[in-house]
Every structure is written in C-alpha cells, then in structure tokens.
Chains A and B, each alone.
Chain A
Amino acid sequence: MASEPEVAVTANAVLSVRDLRTHFLTRDGAVRAVDGVSFDVKRGETLCIVGESGCGKSVSALSIMRLIPENVGRSMAGSVRLEGTELTTLSERQMRAIRGNRISMIFQEPMTSLNPVLTVGAQIAESLRIHQRLPQRAAWERAVEMLAMVRIADPARRAADYPHQLSGGMRQRVMIAIALACNPQVLIADEPTTALDVTIQAQILNLMLELKQRLSTAIVLITHDLGVVAETAQRAIVMYAGRKVEEAPVAELFRNPLHPYTRGLINSIPRRTAAGRRTNIRGRLQEISGIVPSLREEIVGCAFAPRCSFAVERCSRERPALDPHAPEHLAACWEVARVAAAVR
C-alpha cells in the first residue's frame, strides 16, 4: 500500500492529507466513514471533493479540522500537514490557535451555523480578538470591513444585526467573513451553497472565488454538484464509500473520466442536446443503480463493484490501487482500459 502513488501532486502543497482514516465505533461495529484518503492542496488553488451523500466528504473535512468530538467513539489515524505542521498530534490548545486562523471552515447550513444571540459583528470580531489579539474596538472595525468585503450593503449598521435579521445568502456571506477574517491559508467549504436559492448560489461561489484570488487562500470545496466543480475548481477528487476513487484536473476529469463511478456521476447531469431537449444520449436521465454500501463491514475489493456495469470477478476480491493513468490523473479501477474505451 505504502508504495502506491496516492496523490497526483505533491510539490508546493499547503495542505497535505495522508491516509486519513476516521472510524466511528458503534455497538454494531466500526463504521468506516473515511477509510484511507490522501490528497494535497496547492497554495491558492481550488480543489473539489465530490461524491454522493454519505461517502465521507464532510467527515474528512471535520477530521482535518479536528472538529469531531472524541466522546462519540471516533478513532482517527493518518497525517494532516498544514504548511509542514502536523495537525493530528497537536494539543487541543495548539489546534485552537490554528482553527479559524490558518485553516477555517464554512458549513452547509447558513441558517443554523450562526449564533442567534450574538450580533454578526461580534461573531466576526471574535476570531480577530482570539487570533490577532485585537482590542474590542479595532476588532469591531475590522469586522465591519470584512462585511464590506463580502459585499453586504451598509456594513456598519448590519454588523449590529442578529442573524435572524439577515437572509440565507447574507448569512452565508457572514460565514465567509468569519472564515476569512484572519486570512487563512486554507478554507474548507462544506456544501456552502446547497441550502441556498439557485440565484444566490452563483453569487456566493463567485464571491468565494474572488476573495480566494485576492487573499490567495486555497479552497477545499466539498460538493455533490458536478456543475459547481466544473465552474470553480482546478482539480477534483471523487470519493466513494470513504475512499478516494479518482483524482484529476477538472477539464481532464470531465473529458476523460476513468472510474465507472465518476462516469455515472457525469452521466446523471441533465444536458441540453442540439434539439433543445433536456436529455442525454439515451433520451432520459441516467442514474447509478443500487445504493451506497454499508460502511459497517470492511469492504473487500472495490466498493463500487456491486453497482458497476464494468465489474469483473476480480473487482469484488481485490482492492484496486490508485494508479496514474494520465498526467496528474489517478483512478482506482481494475478495468480502466475498458472504461476509457467504452462509449459514454
């Protein structure tokens, strides 16, 4: 296993995740939510993590941030390095100094992720007071500047508002302001637009990308929406059942998907044909048949095999290695040649 080329890019990485494993110990056995995931994020790039619900995307993000409480019976292994600092072995106090400062996170639910009894200005200022030790007034002024930066109109007055006085889109802007207040090297965004109206989604994504440019923050964007991947990211990782199954530059991934699961995801995007009908080659939306496997049992072989139309006998017996098949393009599939040759 150790000899496998697990990641596509190593040079110039700001965040390096190696063989991350997060298991939850339950009465019925261990649930392998994240089961050996590795990736690198380059300085200032946007990396997408894609997959269905329950594939371990969010747990990976929370594990990197060390935000999963220990008393829920979780066990963690692997290595997470932020600019060379190993995060997994830091004390809780040291980790606190990094969270919200050098690496920060925004969450899916803007409606519930802000504290309802504190003003949004106070919630932004809090990060600045903790990490930059700004006095109260300076922190508040900086919080107002942050609100202006995420394009909230009349920021000085809005800073004194409580979250319930803001719309969903504005709350997510506030979350972004909190996350970027200390100018972190890495921003992890866990489905940041999923809970928002479609019209607001694009605004929020564009805002994140623009601020990324301005602050040269690397973004790890977790999403199940391949449309978002295509519009925002340079590279993407496809996760399935707690494992990374494919990694490639985005253009390459869409042009030449090598894992049958990735193909399934791409084929299930509605597209417009020349005739203007919402359709794909076969005239109706294609779904991936079957369901995500239970993570309670150790999966022997390829986790996708039971749902895969390319599967051969070997797939359910031996776990396929993540091998490079093109520059910066890794895929974990025994039948890559057949998949690549098949007509989509």
Chain B
Amino acid sequence: MTAYIVRRLLATIPVMVVVALFVFLLLHLTPGDPAAVIAGDDASPADIEAIRRKLGLDLAIWQQFVIYVGNLLRGDLGTSIFSNLPVLTLVKQRLEPSLVLAVSTLVLAIALAIPMGVLAAWKARSWIDRVVMGFSVLGFAVPVFLIGYLLIYVFAIELRWLPVQGYRPLAQGIEQTARSILLPAIALSMVYMALIARMTRASMLEVLSEDYIRTAHSKGVATIVVLLRHALKNAAVPIVTVIGIGLTLLISGVVITETVFNIPGLGRLTVDAILKRDYPIIQGLIILFAGAKVLVNLMIDISYVFFDPRIRY
C-alpha cells in the first residue's frame, strides 16, 4: 500500500513539470515582449530594459526555465508586479476564505447529494425520484451567480437571517464564519450536488439489480442496511470519481461565487490579477490549482482501493 502511494506520488512529478512548462511559456507566448507587457503602456524603453534584466528575460529561454523551476521548488512563486509582494504571501492571505468555502461546499454537497441519490434509486420512478432528478436538472441549468443573488435576496435582504456579503475569518469565531459562508456554499454546491446526486442514483440503480442485493434481502437484512452497507459501497467508485471531476467545477465556481458574495479569496485574487495582467500571480495560481487537482486525483485513486478490494495496487 505504501509502495503504491509512493509510486503514484512519483507519477505526479511529470504532470507537474508539464504544468510548470505551460505556465512558464504562458508569459512568453503572450503576444509582444513580456517585459513590455509587464511594464505597461506608458513605460519608456529604459524601464522595459530594467524589467527585462530584473526578470532574467535577457537569458536564454532554457536558462530562464531552469531558474523558474528552481524558484518553484524553493517555494518562490514569483513577485507580484503591482504590489511588489511575493505571490506566496498574497496567496497565503487569501487562502483561508477559499479553503473554507470549498470545504463547506464539498461537505454540503456530499452530505445532501448522496442521500438524495440513494433515495431516488431506491424509490426509482416514484415521485421522490422525479423530485430529485428535477432538482438535479435545475442545479445544472441555473448558473451559480443567479442562485447566489436569489439566496441573497431571500435570506439576507428579505428575511435578514444571514449577512448579505463578505467573509468573517475563523479567528473571529467559527459561528460568524459559518454564517458568512453558508449562502455562498449553498449557491456553489448546487451544480455539484446535481452532479453527485445523478451519479449516485445511476450507480445505485445498477448495483440494486445485482444478485448479491437479493442475497442480502434473503438473509433478512433491513432495507436501510441493504442500501448503505451492501449497495452504496459497491456503487462508490463512480461516485467518488465524479466527486473528483466536480472539483474542477468547484475551482471555476469559487471564482464566480467569491465575486458575487464579495469574499476576499483566491478567486477574487485570480480575477483581479487577470484584469490587471499581473502575470506572476496568474502563473502562481495556475500552478497551485493544478497541484490541488493532481493531489485530489491521487487521493481518489487511493480511495478506490478502500472501496473495492478487487482493485489491485
């Protein structure tokens, strides 16, 4: 098992090298001189030359890449052009709200979508099934910003139960954080829930028609135990896979949700960096998001072994 995990970890290295190469080339593939792009429209040739030297752009391109990767390995993601702060520092400042939002969304979506999917599969073709599937279609179809504004209107403005916008850090107390993150998490989790509920239902439907489910019934096992112990664990692999795929959705969703709810997280940092063309920040964030995605995929691959003993590692 440990050998398997180490092997899988090693296999992520080439992926990350490709990501680093892409991110590095991003700057160089941008039309025009990167130094001129960075310097902006009203820079003098002398300014551009200074930036060029500062960034090492006068070196050969392979030398630049080696330096870039070397910096990454030392945890140096570069320096923001506009604020002159290290990208890592900026990311650290913005990490907490995004992480809290992502984790709450994940927990909320899984906690609601899996029971919904199980119920829909168990009561297939009943009204419960139709309600769950209808909700699922809606979750896919309605964009996250619309849900966000709707939730704000109903629960923050009309009912005044929850704050309209903003984020309260964990340092100010978990209850305040929870209140500030609830609406964004609900808004963001809709599409995710739709995805997981659908996959859970499909996977469960397939498993429920298996012979071993009939065996479980013939032993006198209670229905809820048949569903959760006998069926859900067998249905888990596709569900876990789709949870992993959905995480990509989550990353793009975080950007929009943070904008709607005015949360100072990584999403906002991304949007601001793109608008200002602060390339080092954009590069740093891409590396970070790609790394997160690779890590999640790794965790999912490892979890298969836990759910299905037939999978060899």
Contacts and interface: CB of A to CB of B under 8 A. Distances in A.
A265 to B, nearest CB: 27
Interface in B222-279: 222, 229-230, 233-234
Contacts of B135: none
A262 interface: no
B219 interface: yes
Interface in A125-175: 126-127, 130-131, 162, 164, 175
A65 B220 CA distance: 10
Contacts of A100: 218-221
B164 interface: no
Contact of A96 (B210, B214, B220, B308): B220
Nearest to A101: B220
A210 B112 CA distance: 50
B310 A96 contact: no
A115 B219 contact: no
A99 B309 contact: no
A99 B219 contact: yes
A96 B215 contact: no
A219 to B, nearest CB: 15
B307 interface: yes
B289 interface: no
A112 interface: yes
A107 interface: yes
Interface in A108-122: 109, 112-118
A126 B234 contact: no
Contacts of A114: 212, 215
A105 interface: yes
Nearest to A130: B220
B212, B215, B217, B233 pick with most chain A CB within 10 angstroms: B215
Contact of A130 (B211, B219, B234): B219
A224 B234 CA distance: 33
A107 B214 contact: yes
A126 to B, nearest CB: 6
A340 to B, nearest CB: 40
Count class of interface residues, chain A? 20 to 34
B125 interface: yes
Contacts of B151: none
B298 interface: no
A334 B218 CA distance: 39
A198 to B, nearest CB: 22
A127 B310 contact: no
A178 interface: yes
Nearest to A98: B220
A117 B234 contact: yes
B216 interface: yes
A117 B309 contact: yes
Contacts of B212: 112-116
A117 B307 contact: yes
Contacts, number: 71
Nearest to B219: A100
A127 B222 CA distance: 11
Contacts of B210: 112
Given A115-B234, A116-B212, A99 B218 contact: yes
B223 to A, nearest CB: 8
Contact of A118 (B220, B230, B310): B230
B298 to A, nearest CB: 22
B215 A113 contact: yes
A178 B219 contact: yes
Contacts of B215: 107, 113-115, 175, 178
A288 interface: no
Given A71-B125, A118-B230, A104 B309 contact: no
B220 A109 contact: no
Contacts of A300: none
B310 A164 contact: yes
Nearest to A66: B217
A97 B217 contact: no
Nearest to B216: A115
A99 B217 contact: yes
Contacts of A96: 220-222
Contacts of A127: 219-220
A341 interface: no
A322 to B, nearest CB: 30
Interface in A250-282: none
A100 B220 CA distance: 5
Contacts of A113: 211-212, 214-215
A97 B217 CA distance: 11
A230 B234 CA distance: 40
B211 A107 contact: yes
B219 A104 contact: yes
Contacts of B310: 116, 162, 164
Contacts of A1: none
A343 interface: no
Interface string A80-104: 0000000000000000111111001
Interface in B193-218: 210-212, 214-218
A67 interface: yes
A166 B222 CA distance: 27
A109 B219 contact: no
Interface of B: 124-125, 210-212, 214-222, 229-230, 233-234, 307-310
27 contacts: A65-B218, A67-B217, A67-B218, A71-B125, A96-B222, A99-B219, A100-B218, A100-B219, A104-B218, A104-B219, A107-B218, A112-B212, A113-B214, A113-B215, A114-B215, A115-B215, A115-B216, A115-B234, A116-B234, A116-B308, A116-B309, A117-B309, A130-B221, A131-B220, A162-B309, A164-B309, A178-B215
Q: Please name the 7 residue pairs, one residue from A and one from B, whose CB atoms are nearest each other, closest first.
A: A100-B219, A100-B220, A99-B220, A112-B211, A115-B212, A96-B220, A162-B309
Interface of A: 65, 67, 71, 96-101, 104-105, 107, 109, 112-118, 126-127, 130-131, 162, 164, 175, 178
